[in-house]
Structure formats: structure tokens, C-alpha cells
Chains A and B, each alone.
Chain A
Amino acid sequence: MSSWQERLEERTLDPARSTPRNYWLVVGALAAVIAWALYAYFVQVRDGLVVTGMRDRISWGLYITMFVFFIGISHAGTLISAILRVANATWRTPVTRMAEFITAVALMTGALFVIVDLGRPDRFLNVLIHGRWQSPIVWDVTAVTTYLTASLLYLYLPMIPDLAFFRDRLTGSVSKWQSGLYRILAINWKGTDTQKRQLHSSISIMMILIIPIAVSVHTVVSWIFAMTLREAWNSAIFGFFFVAGAIFSGIATLIIMMALLRRVYRLEEYITQKHFQYLGFLMAAMAGVMLYANISEYVTAGFKLEEGAEFIFRQLFVAEFAPYFWFYIVAGILAPIVLIFIPRMRTIGGIVAAAVLVDLAMFVERYFIVVTGLRAPLLPYEPANYTPTWVEWSITAGGFAFFALLVTVFVRIFPIMAVYEMAEEREELAAERLSLESDGALTGEAGL
């Protein structure tokens, strides 16, 4: 076994073997935030949604924003591990596992916020018992659960060999339940040829299958809005717009996560400047797409300025929501493009900064799409205003903490990098190089 592979294996085993510094501090802090959010949720269930800032006229707010945002982020995994796998971009292999973690965890967080937003969470099962096919909410429930199943499976399948590797190397040195977990999850993987063939065919089917599922998910999320008779949401490109935004914020989240995990678990050898750069380029490309989508959306509506559109444009461009909107356009879309295209700024720090801006801006975008759409008056009344309360902020913070906690714990238990795939690809590469060299040697000889 080469020393390269040994080093890689050691690095991947590290998180499960030793507790990094401040680990329990981080877990404790996140758990405290979650506990506080649970208290806030208790208050909300006890007193009703009256403890939030939502009212009849602006009847959705931060919770739905969180739902849209997190479901959006979940597209990171699909992009990196499915689309890029289909495109045969091998540089993505070291970061696939992280991307897939983000997908699974973000989906769980997002789905949670639908329930948080309900007036009667106790009746959630009514959606299954009395569900109607005609309702966009049922489309969402179906799409999100399908995507969650598919992405858990897609996280799991390529992880089987790595889990077997953990099983073989860690049994004895980790707790009993943990080695038991590896043993069960590794479903007897021994790396035989048949098993490999089976695994490969399973992965290739899932990787094709998951792409349309992912696209459908954020499309139907946007349709929750686009299927209502509201001027601001009445747009045929809404589905596309949401999917593009989802991939955009997914890449940004992956970049941030990569930077954090790289630092904590010292993965500098595997996650390099190159990865940040490539993902940075992808992010800039998506920023371009977003810019285009925004222009299409607002120019077609703004040029005609149908009845009601004027109010929407005023609140978005110059009045109440102008700071949010222009922050989104300038800091979230233009700035990342600039940051990534100036070679001197294209350092890891620069790219991470751009990613943070993108994530912030996308959160803000989801927020103002939800709130401005509802705020436009339907009849002659004073437009309502919406300010989230401490309950909403607490539960929102709890959502982020939940996401972070799950990632933190996942990363410590499961293989953080796709060791098996990385080793396999390296072998293939070496074999290719070898055959190239011998080809070269042959031509050389022929030339002689």
C-alpha cells in the first residue's frame, strides 16, 4: 500500500478516533441554542402563533424563509456528487462526502420548519390521511420526502466500502455501539468483485435518478408561492429561479463547510486551493445565472407595470425592502463575481468570503420574496408590516444550530472523505499514466 493511501486513511480515521480540541465546547454550545429554541417552540405551542410577528396579512415569515433556504442548500450534494459525477469531474471526489452530508442534514432542517410553521402541528398527519393531490403542499411533502430518501441512499451507497474500512480498522478502539453501527451499515462488504460491480451499478443508477428529483424539489417549493394569485409571485420562471438559487447557495455552503472542516481536521492535503477555486468558478457561474434570472423576472414585469406591480417595485427597489434587495444584488451576486474573477482575490480566504456573502444574500432573498409577496395589499387597506419576534429568532437560531450539530456529530462518526473512491480513482489515474507512458515509449521506439 502506498504511503499516500496510508496517510489518507489515517486522516479519515482521525475524527472518529480522537476528539478534536473544543469539540465538546462546540457541541455544548449548539445544544444550548437548541434547548433555548425548544423552549421558544414550547411557548409558541402553548400560546399559539400569536407570539410570532406573523398576522393575517403577512401570514408567512421567517419559518417559511428557513424552509426555502435549507431545502435550497440541500442541492449542494446533488450538484457536487451527481452532476459532477455524471460529468466525470474527478477533482470533486474528496469533497463529495461533505456535500452529501450537507444535503441530508439540510433537508432534515428544512422539513422541520414546515412543521414549526403550522398552526396545528398536532394534526400534521392529516396531510397523509386526508392529503389532496391538487395541493402544492402535498407536492412538497412528496418531493421532499422522496429527495430525503434518495439522498440518504446516495450518501450511504458510496459510503459502504468506507464503513467497512472503519469496521475493520476501528473495532476495539471505539465504543461498542459505534463499531456495531459500522458492522451493520457495512452490510458485509468485503470488496469482492461482485460486490464492487453491484455497488457501481447501484451508484450509477442513483446518480442519474437523483438529479431530476432534486430539480423537482425546489421547483415545487417555488410553486407553493407561484400557485397563488399574488402579483409578486406570478411568474413562470419561478421554478427555475428557485432551483438556480438553490444550487447557488448550496455551493456557497459547501465552500464554507470545506474551509471549516479542512481547518479542524487538517485536511489541507486533500482539500486544496484547487477545490476552492473550481467551486468558486461554479459559484460565479451560478451568480451569472441568478443575475440573468433577476433581469428576466423584473424587466418583464417592470416594463409593463401592470396594476399592483408598481407597489411591489416600489417596496423592493426604493422603499421598505430596498436595503435587502440591493444587498442581495450587490453583495450576493455582483461581489462574488468580482471576488472570484480578480486573480489576486482568488485565495481561499477570498472565496470563502464570497461564499459567506452569497449565503447571507440568499437567505435575505428568500426572506424578501416571501414577505414582499404577501405585503402587497389585495384590497384598499394599509399594507401590513412584519417584524419577527424573539420566538421566531430563537427558533431560527435553533434551526441553524441543529444543522451545525448534526454535521458536527456526523463528521465524527462517519468517514469524512470518500477514501475508497479516492484510492480507486488514483489507481485508475496511475494505470492510465502508465499506459500513456508505455504508449509514449512505444512511439519513441518507433521514432527511432
Chain B
Amino acid sequence: MVATAQPPKRRQWLGHAALVLLMSTTVTAFLAWGVNPLFVLLTTVSVLASVPLVAARVSMSKDSRREWKTWLFADGVRSVDRRTALRLFGVAAVFGAVSPTVPKLAQKALAQGTPDVGELPPRARTRQWTMIIDLRRCDGCQSIELPPQCTTACIEGHFAPEPMQWIEVYEHELPGHGTRFVPTPCQQCQNPPCVNVCPVGATFSAPEGPVLIDQNRCIGCRICMAACPYDRRFFNWGEPPIPADAGRAEYDLELQVPAYKGTVMKCDFCPDMVRSGTLPYCIQGCPHRAIYYGDLEEDLATNGRELVSVSRYLANNDAFLLKEELGTQPRVYYIPGHGEDIGRDPTHEGFLPIRWPWTRLAEGSATWSR
């Protein structure tokens, strides 16, 4: 065997230190983070990396083991003497003491806002918010010759950046001829595909039903937009056009104000409004009172004028769900119709385009098309 030069002591020393650092950080990272993908990642990586080594070890005879050690640690380190061992322990102790703070610090720096909506005051019953949209009373605001007022009120109340229409009126063809208008908010699915696919839990189901988004956690991967079958999620492609005052507000995920570039937004079912005892903007905006908001638990809903029993109202009026066959279990119910209760002729098509009142006020911002 050719004798190779013995590497200087210092270099070995550094090598050991690096090894110990790596090991102790990995171990503490596991402990600090518990079971999550990082854990799995690191485990996979280290298991994979060690498989060949272990395999080689197992296949070795006893006296080739010494050779193996020689191979791995370079010539010269045939055995670890007491002094080296003590030093190694010392290094391990130092790194072991310091390293738990590393993941903690990283976590602090990176945990940009955790949803605190889960901490609702304990109640006997948890509300289960729901919405009923009576299409017999929706004419796309044709009769008042304005753009759909639910959408307009929502945009003004939420500072929804152009071109987002969190509640959007779609014109569906009727069999035969003519159309009907279907105001479409986020369906607040009980089996929400968008929540199921989000890699970071930025979008989640709140205990009272609404599906919310933490724009401080969202990484902008947009898989939720691909997953939502109702086209109900919107992305801040550029610097969102919102009024300057809204931009200065302190972020609140229930309000989604201020909007952040590179994150997703959508209808949030106005949890803040109902908590303060008012109805969502869209309901207040609707001139024909076509939208009801209520609680499935208490079986009551109101459009601001009258109070109805949710179950009775749905059953008596042949309610339906949008794309029920997908199994998303929406919390938004529809009563079939085409504006007949307020005298709309189904062949009268079209509605006026939506306007965003402040886009010109929002300096330095961009708008975009859908």
C-alpha cells in the first residue's frame, strides 16, 4: 500500500468539529420542529446517505473494519485517544447548547403571523355561517341601471384590488333561451379543495365555517387557484391597487387589509362584520334583498328585512348547490330563479361592468386583467 502523507492535525480537528456541528444541529432541529416535512426531509436525506455506508459496514469482515475506518478518516487517525475524545465531547456540548436557539431564531424570523382565529371564546355552540342566494330576486341590477351592487359594495367595503370580484355575478344560460344571474361568492366549502392542497396551511377552515387566508404565510404557489372549482381565488399579480390609507392599516387576516403582492385573496364571509352584529357588505348592497346570511346551528337566516328558518326555506324552495357533484359541500345555497319575483324578463341579457372607485387614487400600483 502506498503511504500517503499524513494530513496536518488542524484539518482533522476541523473535520470532526464540522461533523459534530452537523449532527447536533440536525438532532436539535428534529426536536424543535417536531414531525413536519423538514423532519422527513432530513431523515430521508440522512437515511439515504447512510444506507450505502451501513451496507458496506455490514458486508465487512471484522478485520477489514479497521481498514474502513482508515479509509473514511484518512490515514493517521487509527484510533481516537482519550484527549481527542474529550475534545470531541467538549465541542459537542458547546454546539449542543447553542444549536437549539438556531431553529428557534429561524422560526421566529420566518413565522410571519400565525392565524389566531382559532382562539374564539368558548361558547356553548359554534356558529356555522351560511348563505342563501335567492335567484328569483336577482336581476343583475338591470332594473336600477347600475353595475351589480353586491359586487360593488363588497369591493368598496374590502378594498378589493382591481380586478378582483370576490362576489361575482355570472350569467348562466337557461335551457331553451334566456339567462339567469348567479352572484357567486366563495362557496366556503366544507370539504374545501383549496385548503386540502395548500402546502403551508396559509388557507384554512375557521371553526365557524369560513375558509380564510393568512396573507402573511401564503407563499404564492397558486395551487389553491388551480384546485378551486368555482374560480373564486384571486392573486395579487402586482403591487395591489388599494387606497393609501388601507395600505397603512395593520394587517388583519379577517379583513385581508392591506393586500400583499404575491399572495392570494378571496371572499372571507365577513367574519368581522357578523361579529359586530351587521351583515356582510354584499347583503347590505343588494337592492332587492336577494341574499340571506345565517347560522346553520341556530337554523336562522336573514337578509336584513325578514328572518327565515334555513332548513324550511331551503326545502320549500328547492334549493340547490353549485357543482354539488364535486363533493365540495358548499355553505352557499341557491334558490332557483331568474329574477322573476322582481319582474325580470329572462331574455333581457347583460349587466353593467364593475368599477373600482379608487384605482386611480392608488399611487404606483398596477392593475391587470383576469
- The interface stretch among A74-82, A99-107, A289-297, A374-382 is A374-382
Residues of B within 8 A of A10 (CB): none
Which residues of B (37-78) have their CB < 8 Å from a CB of A? 37-38, 40-41, 44-45, 48-49, 51-53, 55-56, 59-60, 64, 67-68, 70-72, 74-75
Q: Mark A375-395, 1 if CB is under 8 A from B, else 0.
A: 001111100100000000000
CB-based contact B171/A123 at 8 Å: no
Check A128/B223 contact, CB under 8 A, given A47-B238, A378-B231, A381-B231: no
Q: Does B16 contact A (CB under 8 A)?
A: no
Residues of A within 8 A of B170 (CB): 379-381
CB-based contact A227/B49 at 8 Å: no
- The interface stretch among A22-30, A87-95, A149-157 is A149-157
CB-based contact A49/B51 at 8 Å: no
Cα-based distance from A249 to B219 in the complex (angstroms): 30
* Contact partner, B55, options A119, A150, A201, A384, Cβ 8 Å: A201
Cα-based distance from A41 to B37 in the complex (angstroms): 28
Which residue of A has the minimal Cβ distance to B216? A123
CB-based contact B220/A149 at 8 Å: no
Residues of B within 8 A of A153 (CB): 48-49, 52
Check A137/B173 contact, CB under 8 A, given A142-B41, A194-B68, A378-B231: no
CB-based contact A187/B235 at 8 Å: no
CB-based contact A135/B197 at 8 Å: yes
Q: How far is the CB of B112 from chain A (nearest CB, A)?
A: 7
CB-based contact A118/B71 at 8 Å: no
* Contact partner, B231, options A57, A118, A201, Cβ 8 Å: A57
Check A149/B45 contact, CB under 8 A, given A123-B217, A130-B200, A205-B52: yes
**Which of A50, A55, A374, A384 is most buried by chain B, counting CB atoms within 10 A of its CB?**
A50
Q: How far is the CB of B77 from chain A (nearest CB, A)?
A: 11
- The interface stretch among B93-101, B270-278, B285-293, B362-370 is B362-370
* Contact partner, A48, options B55, B64, B221, B262, Cβ 8 Å: B262
**Which of B170, B199, B261 is most buried by chain A, counting CB atoms within 10 A of its CB?**
B199
* Contact partner, B37, options A128, A157, A379, Cβ 8 Å: A128
Cα-based distance from A117 to B220 in the complex (angstroms): 8
Which residue of B has the minimal Cβ distance to A125? B110
Q: How far is the CB of A205 from chain B (nearest CB, A)?
A: 5
- 7 A-B pairs in the complex with CB atoms less than 8 angstroms apart: A55-B369, A117-B221, A119-B261, A146-B44, A188-B71, A228-B197, A373-B226
Instruction: List chain A positions with a Cβ less than 8 A from chain B.
Output: 47-52, 54-57, 59-60, 114, 117-120, 123-138, 141-142, 145-146, 149-150, 153, 157, 187-190, 192, 194-195, 197-199, 201-203, 205-206, 209, 224-225, 227-230, 373-374, 377-381, 384
Which residue of A has the minimal Cβ distance to B33? A129
CB-based contact B193/A229 at 8 Å: yes
CB-based contact B41/A141 at 8 Å: yes
Which residues of B (167-216) have their CB < 8 Å from a CB of A? 170-173, 184, 193, 196-202
Q: Does B105 contact A (CB under 8 A)?
A: no
CB-based contact A129/B107 at 8 Å: yes
Cα-based distance from A194 to B64 in the complex (angstroms): 7
Residues of A within 8 A of B52 (CB): 153, 157, 201-203, 205-206
6 smallest A-B Cβ distances: which pairs? A119-B220, A119-B262, A50-B238, A202-B52, A131-B37, A198-B56
CB-based contact A187/B71 at 8 Å: yes
Q: Does B218 contact A (CB under 8 A)?
A: yes
CB-based contact A59/B222 at 8 Å: yes
Residues of A within 8 A of B173 (CB): 380
Q: 8 additional contacts, CB 8 Å, given A55-B235, A126-B219, A230-B229?
A: A48-B238, A56-B234, A119-B221, A119-B264, A123-B200, A127-B37, A127-B200, A195-B71
Check A197/B59 contact, CB under 8 A, given A48-B238, A57-B231, A149-B45: yes
* Contact partner, A224, options B67, B223, B235, B368, Cβ 8 Å: B223
**Which of B2, B33, B41 is most buried by chain A, counting CB atoms within 10 A of its CB?**
B41
